[in-house]
Amino acid sequence: MCGIVGYAGKSDAVPFLLGGLERLEYRGYDSAGLAVVENGGLSVRKAVGNVAALACEISARPLAGAPGISHTRWATHGEVTLENAHPHVDATGRLALVHNGVVENHRELRAMLEERGHEFASTTDTEVLARLVGEAFESMPSRDGESLREAVRVALLQAKGSFAVGVIHADAANAMVAARRASPLVVGSGSGGQFLASDPGALSGWVDEVVFLNDGEIALLDGGELRVDRIDGSAAPQPVFREVEAAAGPSELGGFEHHMLKEIHEQPQTLRDVMMGRLDSDEATARLAGLDCPPEDIRGWGQLILTSCGTSFHAALAGEYLIESMARIPVECEYASEFRYRNSPLDGGAAVFALSQSGETADTLAAVRECRRRGIPTFGIVNNAFSSLARETRGGVDIRAGAEIGVAATKTFTSQVAVLAMLGLLLGRMHDMERGEGMEILEAFSRLPDMVAEVLGTEGLVRGIAEKYADSGSFLFFGRQAHFPVALEGALKLKEVSYISTCAHPSAELKHGVIALVNERTPSVFIAPRDGLFEKNLGNIEEVRARRGPVIAVGNAGDGELEAICDAFIPVPKVPEFLAPILTVVPLQLLAYHIAVLLGCDVDKPRNLAKSVTVE
C-alpha cells in the first residue's frame, strides 16, 4: 500500500528517495512522486505507474536538493492520475506533504478551505492536509523548522481518521516534519542525514536504528537531536531506538523466477524455523514463551477469539478447527473489519489472538485496540516483532517466516497455521490431552517440513494441470472441516494472482446453490484426504462429475479410488488431521502461481493489491 520515504541532510535527497521507494515497491501502489527543496524553491516530480517511471521522469527533467519527501500511492480517494499522486503542495507551492491513511472528514475540510478561496488541484483527501498545514505555516511568526512542526501539529488537530505524514517547506530548508496517527512511521539518523519512512525496511543500510513513532506523535528532523512531541501538546515518552534489519531485495530471488515461487519453496525451512525450540518432548507440549503469560492465566482462558483479514483470516479459520479439536476450548474467528464494530459479547475468560503477516493491517490493529479498551487480554501472531501489532499486544508468537515479498501470502499462511496448531497442543496438554497423544502430535510436527518438501516435488504435475485448465474462466474450491479454510485460501490465491473468478465452499454446501455453477468449463478443486469425512467428499465429487464438471482433487498419495474418479489428482502424504491443512494448501499455491504465469500476470505485484493494507 502507500509508502513514504523522506531525507533531510546535506546530500542530494533524490537517490535516497528513489532507492527507498524501490524497497517499498513490493507493497503495491499505482503512482509515485517526490519533492525536494532546490535553489530556494520546491521542485516536484510525479509519475503514474512504477518507481522506474518516476526515475525516467527525473532523467528527463532532473532535480536535486534537500530536504526531500517521496511517496508511492495506492489510490483510495480519487483515480490514479498525475494530479492525485503525492506529494501535494499548499496554495503557495512552497510546502509539500505526503500522506498514508485516510482523512475521514476531508469533505468538510475541503468545503471549509474552498470557502476561504482554495482551488484544489486533485480529488484526494491528502491535498486538504497540505492546504491546512500551508495556511497554518503562513500564520506563524517565523519561517523555520520549529514553525513548520507547529503548523503541522495545529493542522493535524483538525483531521479525523488515520495519517502518517512527511512535510517539507522551501522556507525551512533544513527541516522535515513527521507525524502519525494509526498509520506507521519511523524516523532515524545516519548516512549524512535524517530519514523518515513508513517501513524501516526502506532505510536499511542507511540507518542502524530507528524510532517507531507512537500514535499521535510528531517529530522534527532538522539536523539536531531527534525531538518527539505529542500532536495534542502533551508530553511524549522518551524515544526508544530499535535496530533495523537488513532488507531483502530483488537480487535475493535465489534462482527462482518470482518471489511467490521462492516463498512457496521456502516452506520446509520456514516450518522448521517456526517450530525451533518450541516443541517440548519432555512435557509432550509446545512452549510459546512470547505469550509472556503465567500458566494459570492461560489455563483460565475459556474462549479464544481469532481475528484477522484475508489469508491471515483463513489461517485463523483453520486454527479454529485445530484448537477446538485438540484443546476442547471454544474458538471463534472474526473478520477484524467486522469485529472492530460488532461489540460482540465476550465472556470474562476470553483471550483474543490477532494474526497478521505485516502487523500493520489497519482493521486488525483497530480490532486489537477495541479489545484492549474492553480489557480483554490480546495477543499477536506476527511476522515482524517490531510491527505495530507486536507493539500493541501484551504478548504473542513470532511466526519467523522471514520477509514475504510476493503480495500473495504463501509461507506466512503455513507458519500461522503451525503456530495455531502449537497453541492447540499447549492448551490441549493444559486441559485433558494425554501425554501419549501429545507425543504423537510432536512426532507429526517433526516430520512436517520433509512432507512439505515432498509435496513441492509434485510441482511438475501441478504445472501440467495448470496448462490444461489455465483458460477456464472460473474455478470452484471445496473442502470439509479444516480443509474448508484451505479451499478458501486456494480460491483467494488463484483470484489474486490470475484474476480468475473463484469461490470456495464447504463441500456439503454444493447442493445448496453453488451446484448451479457446475459445467464442463468450470473446474472444481476438491481437497479430499482420507479423513473422517472422505466418503462424504467422494459423494460431492460424484455430484460434480454427474454434471460433467472437471474435478481436480488433492488427496492422499496412493488413493487409487479417488484418483480413478478425478480428471487430475495431486497426491500429498497422509498426516494427522490437525496438520493436514499445512500440506494440502501447498499444491493450491503452486496451481495459482503456474496459472498466473501461464496467463502472463504479474504474480509478485498483482493489479490493485497491496501487501500491507494500512487503510480501513
> In a 3-state reduction of DSSP, which class is residue 487?
helix
Residue least distant from ligand AGP (Cβ): 310
For residue 566 the three cell numbers come to: 478425478
Catalytic residue among 46, 262, 411, 611: 611
Cβ-Cβ contacts under 8 Å for 62 (sequence gap 6 or more): none
Q: Is 611 an active-site residue? A: yes
Cα–Cα dist 128/411, whole Å:
40
- Answer for which of 270, 356, 388, 415 binds ligand AGP (CB under 6 A) is 356
409 near ligand AGP, rule: CB under 6 A: yes
Residue 502: count of CB within 10 angstroms of its CB: 22
Closest distance to ligand AGP from the beta carbon of 362 (Å): 9
- Helix or strand run (H / E) with residue 217: strand 217-221
Best CA proximity match to 514, nearest among 475, 464, 459, 485? 475
Number of residues that bind ligand AGP (CB under 6 A): 15
Q: What's the per-residue H, E or C state across 326-353? A: HHCCCEEEEEHHHHHHHCCCCCCCEEEE
- CB nearer ligand AGP, residue 54 or residue 421: 421
357 near ligand AGP, rule: CB under 6 A: yes
Kindly indicate which of the ranges 156-164, 369-377, 405-413, 532-540 contains the residues binding ligand AGP, using the contact rule CB under 6 A. 405-413
Which amino acid is it at 166? Answer: G
- CB nearer ligand AGP, residue 200 or residue 310: 310
312 near ligand AGP, rule: CB under 6 A: yes
- CB nearer ligand AGP, residue 356 or residue 415: 356
Q: Are strands 395-398 and 378-382 parallel, antiparallel or unpaired?
A: parallel
Interface of this chain with ligand AGP, residues 495 to 534, rule: CB under 6 A: 496
What does the per-residue mask of binding to ligand AGP show for 267-306, with x meaning CB under 6 A? ----------------------------------------
For residue 528 the three cell numbers come to: 479430499
- Answer for which of 179, 309, 351, 419 binds ligand AGP (CB under 6 A) is 309
Contact yes or no for 259/26 (Cβ under 8 A): yes
Closest distance to ligand AGP from the beta carbon of 608 (Å): 11
- CB nearer ligand AGP, residue 126 or residue 383: 383
- Answer for which of 408, 541, 586, 592 binds ligand AGP (CB under 6 A) is 408
What does the per-residue mask of binding to ligand AGP show for 577-616, with x meaning CB under 6 A? -----------------------------------xx---
613 burial (CB, 10 Å; 0-12 / 13-18 / 19+) is buried
**b/e 529-560 (16+ beta carbons within 10 angstroms → b):** bbbebbeebbebbebbbeeebbbbbbbbeebe
- Answer for which of 183, 285, 358, 584 binds ligand AGP (CB under 6 A) is 358
- Helix or strand run (H / E) with residue 325: helix 310-327
Catalytic residue among 2, 293, 309, 371: 2
- CB nearer ligand AGP, residue 74 or residue 206: 74
- Helix or strand run (H / E) with residue 4: strand 3-9
Closest distance to ligand AGP from the beta carbon of 409 (Å): 4
| Residues near ligand AGP (CB under 6 A) | 309-312, 356-358, 361, 364, 407-409, 496, 612-613
Residues annotated as part of the active site: 2, 611
